[in-house]
Amino acid sequence: MRIIPAIDIIDGKCVRLTKGDYTTQKVYNEKPVEVAKQFEDAGLAYLHLVDLDGAKSKHIVNHKVLLEIATKTKLKVDFGGGIKSNEDIKIAFDNGALQITGGSVAVSTPELFLSWLETYGADKIILGADFKNRKIATSGWHKKSELDVVDFIKAFESKGVDYVICTDISKDGMLGGTSNEIYKEILVATKIKLIASGGVSSLQDLETLKEIGCDGAIIGKAIYEGKISLKELSALC
């Protein structure tokens, strides 16, 4: 299972939110590239980079942060937040993203998302499936839908999606454990490469996600709050 630390960006700074609420933001470092270098120095190979300004603005905002991290580290970056157009996805890849994550666009304009899948390939395009009470949420989690998360993922798997980042909004930033039952349900219903996100608070959480069969696990606040050390994560890589 891939260990994927996360960096969330607001105003060019490394922040964390609680349950996606922008009013809860806490700045951990004003220079995200420094955080990225710490991850790399610890032997981590992957990075989940989220443009929270972009998610709110509905277009990429913090592409310069992406470029700096991509050029100053060797981390394999998946980038999400505000990718809503062909121009946005081009900006993301031109600035060093290895993969992009599309969530809101897959709900609002599925034909556009599927065109990216065809153009760039399933190894480059990740479906973002962010949910609360099983229902998919979009636009920086400000908009709710009536789409069931498992049905949503199954529908896109049938159209060629290989990778999904699945985030339980109610768990995000809470350090209260992960949504294992939903993940099990998804992995039974599909053959998707599932990347679990939200609620990781301990090495045991990571071990459980590995046992379930997740392809990757995203860790955010647990690193920043010292619940899991980079040394411990390095030992898992």
- Separation CA 177–CA 206 (nearest Å): 10
Residue 41: burial class (beta carbons within 10 Å; 0-12, 13-18, 19+): exposed
What pTM was estimated for this model as a whole? 0.93
Average pLDDT over residues 207-217: 97
Q: Residue 90 pLDDT > 90, yes or no?
A: yes
Average pLDDT over residues 20-37: 93
Look at the chain and count its residues. 237
Please tell me the predicted confidence (pLDDT) of residue 142.
Answer: 57
Kindly compute the dihedral angle of the four CA atoms of residues 107, 192, 194, 171, in this order, to the nearest 10 degrees: 50
Q: What is the pLDDT of residues 54-79, one digit of tens each?
A: 988 889 999 999 999 999 999 999 99
Just list the catalytic residues: 8, 130
82 Cβ contact list (under 8 Å, min separation 6): 51, 53, 54, 55, 56, 57, 58, 59, 60, 61, 88
Q: Which residue ranges form the domains of the chain, and what is each CATH number?
A: 2-236 (3.20.20.70)
Closest CA to 25 of 52, 65, 54, 57: 52
Average pLDDT over residues 213-229: 96
First to last CA, the chain: 8
Q: Residue 190 pLDDT > 90, yes or no?
A: yes
Longest dimension (CA), the chain: 43
Q: Residue 87 pLDDT > 90, yes or no?
A: yes
Please tell me the predicted confidence (pLDDT) of residue 237.
Answer: 81
Please tell me the predicted confidence (pLDDT) of residue 170.
Answer: 81
Mean pLDDT for the chain? Answer: 93
Q: What is the pLDDT of residues 128-177, one digit of tens each?
A: 999 988 999 865 455 677 799 999 999 999 999 999 999 988 877 667 78
Q: Residue 40 pLDDT > 80, yes or no?
A: yes
Closest CA to 32 of 47, 17, 54: 47
